[in-house]
Amino acid sequence: MSVPVLSGLSSLVSRHPFILCDIWGVVHDGASAFLPAVDALSRARREGVSVALVSNSPRRAFQVREQLQALGVGEGAYDTVITSGELTRSYLERDFQGQKFYHLGPQEDRATVEQMDLFEVDHADEADVIVATGLVGRDVDAHVSLLAKAAQNRRPLLCANPDRVVRHEGKMFICAGAVADRYEAMGGPVVWLGKPAPPPYAASRHFFAELAGREVSASEQLIIGDGLATDIAGAAREGIASILIEHGVHHADFLAQGIEPLIKQHLAVPDYRMEFLRW
């Protein structure tokens, strides 16, 4: 299957004045910003395009903005930041006020679950809801016994990071999505709060509509991302055009086998592809 190669973003902005752009793997790699990508988004905004940075980060939006600033990605490159962590927090506050939760994830994700009208418990089987922001350690299999009783009792698990893996400084790390997959396989219900599930796209539509003072159609939007199973699959479900960034989570596979086997594997077809995001 042939996917057109774009030389730059500039050829699309007149048709798609509302951009949803992934962060990790497109704008930075966790250690340094990709300056051509930052330049492309900044130029798009100067052309009147609205940019929502949409991330499967389990952290709150303000934390991601702080990280962007520290990496040299200024606010001139985007209008808003939407994270699955922030969406998870909103879901908890709306549907589980006064109830018990269990946090599954590292200490650095604590802001997502702190200072809410909920009670934290020490064991998953004591909770009304499980909040998965990441792994405890690196072994997905070790989480089976930890979560088995909660799954048996059909306690909902909120997945605050649906990514299965992330590329950080050239290395791959397992994310909460891999644990959520295992929880579903055990019979436990999972609420997916990031891409490719609907919540981040609904949040983006709401933001764009408020900004534009009108409803924004799918045809006016453009999704940019490096994940076939998340960014590109989500774009297809929403009927939004997409650009796949090749130098991201799938980079090694692109080098080894090209794009067609990956498209067949993930059942997700981008409208365009670029090695890096550039203007």
Of 240, 229, 230, the closest CA to residue 262 belongs to 229
Residue type at position 266: H
Q: Is the pLDDT of residue 1 over 80?
A: no
Mean pLDDT score across all residues of the chain: 92
Tens-digit pLDDT profile for residues 59-84: 999 999 999 999 999 999 999 999 99
Task: Read off the DSSP letter of residue 215.
Answer: -
Tens-digit pLDDT profile for residues 176-186: 888 999 999 99
Residue type at position 194: G
DSSP code string of 159-206: ES---SEEEETTEEEE-HHHHHHHHHHTT--EEE-STTSSHHHHHHHH
Burial of 39 (C-beta count, 10 Å sphere; 0-12/13-18/19+): middle
Q: Is the pLDDT of residue 139 over 90?
A: no
Comparing 126-130, 156-160, 166-170, the range with the smallest average pLDDT is 166-170
Distance of CA 232 to the CA centre of its chain: 11
Q: Is the pLDDT of residue 169 over 60?
A: no
Tens-digit pLDDT profile for residues 234-272: 999 999 999 999 886 666 666 667 777 777 776 789 999
Q: Which CATH number fits domain 9-85+196-274: 3.40.630.30, 3.40.50.1000, 3.30.365.10, 2.30.42.10?
A: 3.40.50.1000
As a whole number, mean pLDDT of residues 29-58 equals: 96
Instruction: Say if CB 247 and CB 276 are below 8 A apart.
Output: yes
Would you state the structure tokens that stand for residue 95, as one six-digit string? 């549907």
Q: Is the pLDDT of residue 171 over 60?
A: no
Phi, then psi, of 19 in degrees rounded to 5: -115, 130
pTM: 0.92
- First-to-last C-alpha distance (Å) of the chain: 25
What is the location of CATH 3.40.50.1000 in the chain?
9-85+196-274, 96-192
What percent of the chain stands above pLDDT 70?
93
Would you state the structure tokens that stand for residue 240, as one six-digit string? 């939004």
**How far is residue 176's CA from residue 161's CA, in Å, rounded to a whole number?**
5
Q: Which CATH number fits domain 96-192: 3.40.50.1100, 1.10.4190.10, 3.30.230.10, 3.40.50.1000?
A: 3.40.50.1000
pLDDT of residue 170: 55
Gyration radius from the chain CA atoms: 19
Would you state the structure tokens that stand for residue 127, as one six-digit string? 């909770």
